[in-house]
Chain A
Amino acid sequence: MSNRLVVGTRKGLFEFAWGDGPLDIGAATTHFLGEPVSMALADPRDGTLYAALNLGHFGVKLRRLPAGSRDWEECPAPVYPPQREGEAPTGRRSAEVQGEVQGEVQGEVKGEVQGEAKGEAQGAPNGPPWTLEQIWSLETGGPDEPGKLWAGTIPGGLFHSDDGGDSWTLNRALWDCRERSEWFGGGYDHPGIHSIIVDPRDSRHVTVGVSCGGVWQTNDGGASWRVTAQGMQADYMPPERREDANVQDPHRVVQCNAQPDVLWTQHHCAIFRSTDGAERWERIEAQPSNFGFAVAAHPHDPDTAWFVPAVKDACRVPVNARFVVTRTRDGGRSFEAFSKGLPPAPAYDLVYRHGLAVDATGTRLAMGSTTGGLWTSDNGGESWQQASAHLPPIYCVRFA
């Protein structure tokens, strides 16, 4: 089981390393004390630790700690390119839509191209300002891509680095999709990319989750993208828009590493599961609730996943004030609720979308709440040990 955990909080990054037995809060190494750490990443390829800081007054900053080093380095944060006055998303459609149009009416495609050439109005009204608000997800590229990093941000841009964070490039193919004009903020003023999944079979196949903007995939390393949210349902939209891909609010999207065609989404409205590589999603009705933010997928068993439910979007506290972690082991047909070791009712802990993690064995989990509670489990979530009830609000937990 993994015995190293990094916890990003409202007031710093806490690093834990422990052996047998429960995690000891007193053994924590603190970094950036007092500063908000929105995301952290331990790169398994070279041991570098990354931390994204959200210095509210001074913007987003990125730090890295090379393996064996004691001193953090400041590396450049992603920077959006210059935004022209009144610039809106371009008229280029995603690759999938282009393919559909070409398959139907060639004349229509020509008309669209001619329209673009004439500079006709494209897309919808202006999107968010082109300035980095938060690094919301940070992942490595594949083992065949040393130095490759992906960063998902608010207001919705996806960046990559090929040099371990020394430089970043905005993925224009996704940023310039006309569909992006339909995205909107989910929990924040502007949309954001909170989930980035690199297919372990093919590093050029990347899936991202957008709140609110659906689930998008590339199979060519980011040169082209298509939205794949069929089956997701946005109950908060007018009926005629509820199945629109671009308005979906997946809170968190995760993949079974051993069977990468199986993915789970904790959505604003329900749990969804895909068994065909995120092309189509099946709605799952869970107990005690469909609502939550976090989900963790078992790394080997495609039928197992964990969730931390809350009542509903209008009441984001545990159901009946009973704080539980739920687990399904049959692909979502049934759920068990575990509370052993968690605070007795009434408890109002809430776990954000990056606040639940499972290690590479699928046996050890870690969970952090917005009220500063940190727990670990060594038996697949069936019982928990509390490391602390007094950490700052927790944004993310990650095994390193």
Chain B
Amino acid sequence: MAHLFFAASIQRHIAVPEREVAATSVDEALGAVFADEPRLRGYILDDQGALRRHLAVFVDGRPVRDRRRLSDPVDDKSRIYVVQALSGG
């Protein structure tokens, strides 16, 4: 199962403990969390379902390439971090 972390900056708005998720893509991994916490979706994705401009997602230390559909693959060993980018101030 992929391991998914959300930065503290997100936690102060919505509590999202780190967790294991069954997923083959970043989109699937986030979808699993959104199913548990629907409010979180609007904090992470914009109106068109793309990753918000000033957020970053890293998979095993590498930033995702597909910010629009989040199709970057993940596997059972992946560690996914969702953090706020400093470009947002």
- Interface positions of A (Cβ within 8 A of B): 55-59, 61, 74, 77, 79-83, 129-132
Contacts and interface: CB of A to CB of B under 8 A. Distances in A.
Nearest to A81: B47
A57 B48 contact: no
Contact of B13 (A55, A56, A83, A130): A55
Interface stretch (B16-24, B26-34, B38-46): B38-46
B85 interface: yes
Given A57-B9, A79-B47, A130-B47, 16 more contacts: A55-B13, A56-B54, A56-B88, A57-B52, A57-B54, A57-B84, A57-B85, A58-B13, A58-B55, A58-B84, A59-B42, A59-B46, A59-B52, A74-B39, A80-B47, A132-B47
B47 A57 contact: no
Which residue, of A55, A74, A77, A130, has the highest number of chain B Cβ atoms within 10 A?
A55
15 contacts: A55-B43, A56-B89, A57-B54, A57-B85, A58-B10, A58-B43, A77-B42, A79-B42, A80-B47, A81-B47, A129-B46, A130-B47, A130-B48, A131-B46, A131-B48
A337 B66 CA distance: 56
Nearest to B13: A58
Contact of B48 (A58, A61, A74, A82): A82
Contacts of B88: 56-57
A55 B44 CA distance: 11
Interface residues of B, number: 18
Contacts of A77: 42
A76 B80 CA distance: 27
Interface of A (DSSP majority class): loop
Contacts of B50: 131
A81 B43 CA distance: 17
B62 to A, nearest CB: 20
B21 to A, nearest CB: 21
Interface string B36-76: 00010011101110101011000000000000000000000
A130 B13 CA distance: 24
B89 A83 contact: no
Given A56-B89, A59-B42, A59-B43, A129 B52 contact: no
Nearest to A58: B43
Which 6 residue pairs across A and B have the least CB separation, nearest first?
A: A131-B47, A57-B84, A58-B43, A80-B47, A131-B46, A57-B88
A72 to B, nearest CB: 13
Which residue, of A58, A77, A130, A131, has the highest number of chain B Cβ atoms within 10 A?
A58
B29 to A, nearest CB: 18
Nearest to B40: A58
Contact of A83 (B48, B52, B54, B55): B48
A55 B46 CA distance: 12
A353 to B, nearest CB: 22
Nearest to B89: A56
Contacts of A79: 42, 47
A301 B34 CA distance: 53
